[in-house]
Amino acid sequence: MIEIDQDELRGLAAVTLVVLLVTGGNLWNNREAPPLGFTKYSNYGFSFTYPKDLTMVEQMVMDTRPSYWLGDLQGESQQEVAGIIWGSNEASGISEFIDLIFELASEQVEFAYIGDDDSMRLSGKDVTLRRFTMSSNGVEVPGLMAGWISPEGRMFVVYNLTPSGDEAWLRDTIATMMKSLETEAPQEPRELEAYWPTEEWRYAHPDEVGLDSDSLQRMVDDIRGSGFDVDNALVIKNSYVVLDEYFGDYEKDDLHIVYSCTKSVVSTLIGLAIEDGFIDGTDVLLLDLFPEIEPENLDDLKQSITLEDMLMMSAGYDARDSWLYEWEKLGDMHDAEDAVKYVMDLPMEFEPGSRFEYTNGVSHLLSCIITEKTGLSAAEYAEQRLFSSLGITDYDWRTDKMGRNWGYSSLYLTPHSMAKIGYLFLNKGEWDGEQVISENWVEEATRHRIDANIKDGYGYQWWVDDDGYYLALGYMGQFIFVFPEDDMVAVFTSSSPETFDYSIRLPERFILPAVR
């Protein structure tokens, strides 16, 4: 059995063959009609001629794995039904592909006869023929299928059915369609309609947007064989989804904790609060943002902390709450009755702004600043100013003991919603004609502002790679990669600590090499 998603192809097979349950009577009544002329169809990297009186309808069925895609072009008239099914799969032969079409179609319709394969050479093509008879409303309708594998490895099955029972008609129609079938490997991206994915993302084959599908398939195969706990891999190029793969029990619409990708969302809310006039700017002092709090260990260093220092992970606190210290004191912040007071009471370790020190507590302060200055929780403000514009409606966001959304983690999104965050930044803050957040903020937040460790640099709660891309990242392997030069976003979610180092390398191993 070839490795094609059964549910996807079941719908395809039903469309291609079940139609005769409705049209069988009309076909029988017109069984004496003369042969038809032919017209040409060309798209999706192939062309062929078909009876011109047929009304052709495209039924694209996209599978999430990029090594193959499935499609059906079918036409029907009062005299006959004819069409073509195409796909590709390196693991199968054309006979197996035809077997699967019949197997799935048999769940919906009855076949009185399915013959054995015959082989013939037709216009330079090695073709596999199979005769069959389908029962439709008490009428037996004969048909013929011809399968062929193109030089590019794509599989094509041309079919024709007519109640006249005219063997010559069937053979002539199939011969004309098959002889005229010409294919080519798509070399140039097909022009795709511009759109905004507010309601949902649209799909395209990697070839259509200039990506090497083999490279993406190698990534999927590598993930499946790696033993690591990757939950999804999502690649978007030129606004179209070209890879949307899910592993294990994780499914597309499931919410996933994004861990520290939360920080990049909170940073965006800070930018919006500045634009809305709730915060004076990034040079405002931390102590002025929480005027009612009198922190312990107050010294000149603590008094000099600015909002920008916090956004850059250079506030100077001795927090010891990151992976570098095995989260030694992260639990203390969670246990505190007032997490803001806990963080602001921490002693200082270095001069603010002088170096990078990843500090989860500082990111939580950013979320609490949103609440302090707007009067809304970070989640409420996000829904009002960010999520609603992007069409993000399904999310969860956990809170501290005082009901403030955690700013360093605990946001739950679907991968498709994560991709919308990346896509907003890819488009410099614009979404469907609206400047959701200023282009200047996007540029300032995602540039190399300070040297970091996991990646070359750090901006405003975004990591920056000096090779021209930036990303949000989270514990266990949650990633939103943004590749501005390639008009591309990639999202990964995972569920084990050891998967982080594996997943963060996937774009450089497979996605960037796929760009033609």
**Segment 367-390, tens digit of pLDDT:** 999 999 999 999 999 999 999 999
More confident residue, 4 or 158: 158
Residue 19 has pLDDT above 60, yes or no: no
Mean pLDDT of the chain: 87
Residue 170: pLDDT band by 50, 70, 90 thresholds?
confident
Report the alpha-carbon angle 90-212-183, nearest 5: 60
Q: Please report the pLDDT score of residue 63 as a whole number.
A: 41
Q: What letter represents residue 301's amino acid?
A: L
Of all residues in the chain, what percent are helix, strand and coil, respectively (each to 5)? 35, 25, 40
Residue 189 has pLDDT above 90, yes or no: no
d(CA 86, CA 88): 7
Residue 509 has pLDDT above 80, yes or no: yes
Q: 16: closest CA among 129, 89, 102, 128?
A: 102
Q: Which domains does the chain have, with CATH numbers?
A: 6-183 (3.40.1000.10), 215-514 (3.40.710.10)
Within 13 Å of residue 173, how many CA atoms lie on the same side as its CB?
Answer: 29
Q: Please report the pLDDT score of residue 91 as a whole number.
A: 53
Q: What is the mean pLDDT of residues 61-70?
A: 42
Residue 478 has pLDDT above 50, yes or no: yes
Q: Please report the pLDDT score of residue 333 as a whole number.
A: 97
Task: Label residues 204-223 b or e (16+ Cβ within 10 Å = b).
Answer: bbbbbbbbbbebbbbbbeeb
Residue 58: pLDDT band by 50, 70, 90 thresholds?
low
Residue 515: pLDDT band by 50, 70, 90 thresholds?
very high
d(CA 317, CA 327): 14
Q: Please report the pLDDT score of residue 162 as a whole number.
A: 82
**Segment 394-436, tens digit of pLDDT:** 999 999 999 999 999 999 999 999 999 999 999 999 999 999 9
Whole-number percent of the chain with pLDDT over 70: 87
Element (H, E) at 470: strand 469-474
**Segment 334-357, tens digit of pLDDT:** 999 999 999 999 999 999 999 999
Report the alpha-carbon angle 486-222-472, nearest 5: 45
d(CA 106, CA 191): 38
d(CA 339, CA 422): 29
Q: Please report the pLDDT score of residue 48 as a whole number.
A: 84
Q: 500: closest CA among 474, 467, 472, 481?
A: 474
Among the ranges given (52-66, 429-443, 446-460), the one the predictor scored with the smallest mean pLDDT: 52-66
**Segment 197-232, tens digit of pLDDT:** 999 999 888 888 989 888 998 999 899 999 999 999
**Segment 266-311, tens digit of pLDDT:** 999 999 999 999 999 999 999 999 999 999 999 999 999 999 999 9
More confident residue, 184 or 335: 335
Distance of CA 271 to CAs 71, 228, 293, 370, 389, Å? 45, 36, 23, 10, 16
Q: Please report the pLDDT score of residue 139 as a whole number.
A: 83
**Segment 110-155, tens digit of pLDDT:** 899 999 999 988 777 899 999 999 887 778 889 999 999 888 778 8
Q: What is the mean pLDDT of residues 310-337?
A: 97
Residue 315 has pLDDT above 70, yes or no: yes
Q: Please report the pLDDT score of residue 145 as a whole number.
A: 92
Q: Please report the pLDDT score of residue 197 as a whole number.
A: 97
Cβ count near 188 (within 10 Å): 9
